[in-house]
């Protein structure tokens, strides 16, 4: 018999509608799973049994009356601890953030979920202020990979990815400023989607400016489409939000890939060294798309690595975070973050504007590229998960996380929609991901290509084997219980 924690959000809503189980049953099962996995992977900074079960009970009453509040009524959801959630401190992985406060406001995406009856299970881990592509922080320690607890879950939405992969809620909200949804999705074997910038309203604005997107982290593309139909709703607090979507993302994800023009770039024109196991898994996914009727051409987008421009924008954003902290608190920052803050503070306004020029030109090139191709397919990452607790793999030669994420951050510069879909594993059983990128505003097309892979049965299962042992907590971290825990 399928466990309740194995069901997708779509399956849960269908089960509630048919009266097969209740939101209370599901929430209890998810909370138990969250408690079980926490000592092993450290996915949560906070679990709130009392509030979650109260919301689940209210949802159960609505379903009994046949009056659900919305599209995800009663579905357990987790929220990355970068996004505001009413009644829960948002600590951002930092010793510099005080837990005391009113905490009386929801971020736009959280507010939309609350309106649709979602059950908030807990807040998930992030590196400090979401600054890097792995998840460890001075405040909450290291978040570990569901497939191997000695490896990283990726980041910066690593807690969300680990929670979804291990059944602690089928839906999670992540943020992505340089790959932070797609990186951990690839490392943890789940689906991660970065929508077009502005498609999901964001408030407060990210210190990293218009690089940072809010997006779904889910079991599959169908759940992500469902979640997009919820969190894409308007919010007056975000002046940069897009207008209403053209239609339902669930409907837009249907239709398959027959006739679509797909550009397959295995290494961005030889700029990236991809591990053979990852390259083979991605090529297999591309071959499946061709078998489903897509026109596939191996070709590369015409750009060189924009990492210097990305660093200018990213490190300047980090410096802005530190600038707002009292001087004596800055010594509490993650040493790596403190280093990039110092670098960012040395950039001039002209340096920043030069990086904006690079970004503009990259956007132009990708706009022209998508006149010829509906989607671009690449590896999400050139590697699988490496050792936990470090920013870059040992002996890789990389100092910063951007060294091993060359497929992700370019599409934050261009604000394009992009997703990571599980496509296989290496010899150690660690997941690999294939990235699907489309032109700005073509969010539904990304979901459509991903959904075709899921419907064809070509996406590996997302549930890793039960982890054999707990790992001792690292540093001062640990889950902060809510009332009733």
- Residues annotated as catalytic (active site), given as ranges: 80, 156, 180
Cα distance between residue 33 and residue 311, in whole Å: 38
Of 461, 467, 453, 387, residue with least CA distance to 424:
461
Of 273, 232, 280, residue with least CA distance to 252:
232
The two structure tokens encoding residue 64: 């009994």
Decide: residue 19, CB within 10 A, 0-12 exposed, 13-18 middle, 19+ buried: exposed
The two structure tokens encoding residue 139: 């405040």
Pair 324, 204: CB distance under 8 Å: no
Cα distance between residue 485 and residue 477, in whole Å: 17
Find all residues with CB under 8 Å of 98, minimum gap 6, and list them: none
Decide: residue 433, CB within 10 A, 0-12 exposed, 13-18 middle, 19+ buried: buried
Decide: residue 209, CB within 10 A, 0-12 exposed, 13-18 middle, 19+ buried: middle
The two structure tokens encoding residue 365: 């090139």
Residue 215, helix vs strand vs coil: strand
Kindly report the three-state secondary structure assignment for every residue of 243-268.
Answer: CCCCCCHHHHCCCCCCCCEEEECCCC
The two structure tokens encoding residue 416: 């394009």
Of 133, 80, 132, residue with least CA distance to 107:
80
Residues in the chain: 485
Of 117, 113, 116, 90, residue with least CA distance to 101:
90
Find all residues with CB under 8 Å of 416, minimum gap 6, and list them: 196, 366, 437, 438, 439, 440
Cα distance between residue 369 and residue 342, in whole Å: 36
The two structure tokens encoding residue 187: 């490392």
What Å distances lie between residue 373 and 282, 370, 379, 448, 459, CA to CA? 18, 5, 17, 15, 23
What Å distances lie between residue 101 and 95, 120, 122, 388, CA to CA? 15, 20, 18, 32
């Amino acid at each position: 018999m399928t466990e309740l924690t194995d069901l997708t959000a779509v399956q849960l809503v269908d089960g509630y509608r048919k009266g097969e189980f209740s939101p209370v049953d599901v929430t209890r099962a998810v909370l138990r799973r969250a408690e079980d996995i926490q000592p092993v992977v450290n996915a949560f900074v906070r679990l709130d049994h009392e509030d979650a079960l109260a919301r689940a009970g209210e949802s159960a009453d609505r379903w009994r009356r046949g009056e659900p509040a919305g599209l995800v009524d009663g579905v357990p959801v987790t929220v990355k601890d970068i996004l505001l959630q009413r009644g829960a401190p948002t600590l951002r992985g930092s010793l510099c953030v005080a837990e005391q406060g009113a905490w009386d406001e929801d971020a736009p995406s959280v507010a939309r979920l609350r309106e649709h009856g979602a059950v908030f299970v807990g807040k998930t881990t992030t590196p400090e202020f979401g600054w890097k592509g792995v998840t460890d922080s001075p405040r909450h320690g290291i978040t570990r990979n569901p497939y191997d607890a000695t490896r990283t879950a990726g980041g910066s939405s690593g807690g969300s990815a680990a929670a979804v992969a291990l059944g602690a809620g089928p839906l999670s909200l992540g943020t992505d400023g340089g790959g932070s949804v797609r990186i951990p999705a690839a490392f943890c074997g789940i689906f991660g989607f970065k929508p077009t910038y502005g498609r999901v309203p964001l408030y407060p604005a990210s210190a990293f400016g218009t690089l940072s997107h809010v997006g779904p982290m889910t079991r599959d593309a169908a759940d992500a489409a469902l979640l997009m139909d919820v969190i894409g709703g308007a919010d007056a607090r975000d002046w940069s939000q897009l207008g209403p979507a053209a239609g339902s993302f669930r409907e837009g994800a249907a239709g398959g890939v027959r006739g679509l023009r797909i550009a397959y770039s295995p290494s961005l024109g030889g700029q990236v060294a991809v591990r053979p196991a990852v390259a083979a898994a991605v090529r297999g996914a591309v071959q499946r798309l061709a078998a489903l009727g897509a026109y596939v051409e191996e070709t590369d987008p015409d750009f060189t690595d924009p990492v210097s421009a990305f660093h200018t924008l990213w490190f300047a954003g980090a410096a802005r975070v530190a600038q707002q902290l009292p001087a004596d608190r800055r010594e509490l920052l993650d040493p790596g973050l403190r280093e990039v803050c110092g670098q960012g503070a040395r950039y001039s306004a002209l340096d920043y504007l030069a990086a904006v020029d690079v970004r503009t030109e990259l956007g132009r090139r990708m706009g022209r590229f998508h006149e010829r191709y509906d989607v671009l397919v690449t590896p999400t990452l050139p590697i699988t998960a490496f050792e936990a607790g470090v920013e870059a793999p040992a002996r890789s030669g990389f100092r910063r996380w951007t060294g091993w994420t060359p497929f992700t951050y370019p599409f934050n510069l261009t604000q394009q929609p992009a997703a990571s879909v599980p496509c296989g594993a290496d010899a150690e059983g660690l997941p690999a991901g294939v990235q699907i990128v489309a032109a700005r505003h073509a969010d539904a097309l990304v979901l459509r290509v991903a959904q075709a892979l899921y419907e064809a049965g070509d996406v590996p299962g997302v549930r890793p084997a039960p982890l054999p042992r707990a790992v001792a907590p690292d540093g001062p971290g640990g889950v902060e219980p809510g009332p009733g825990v």
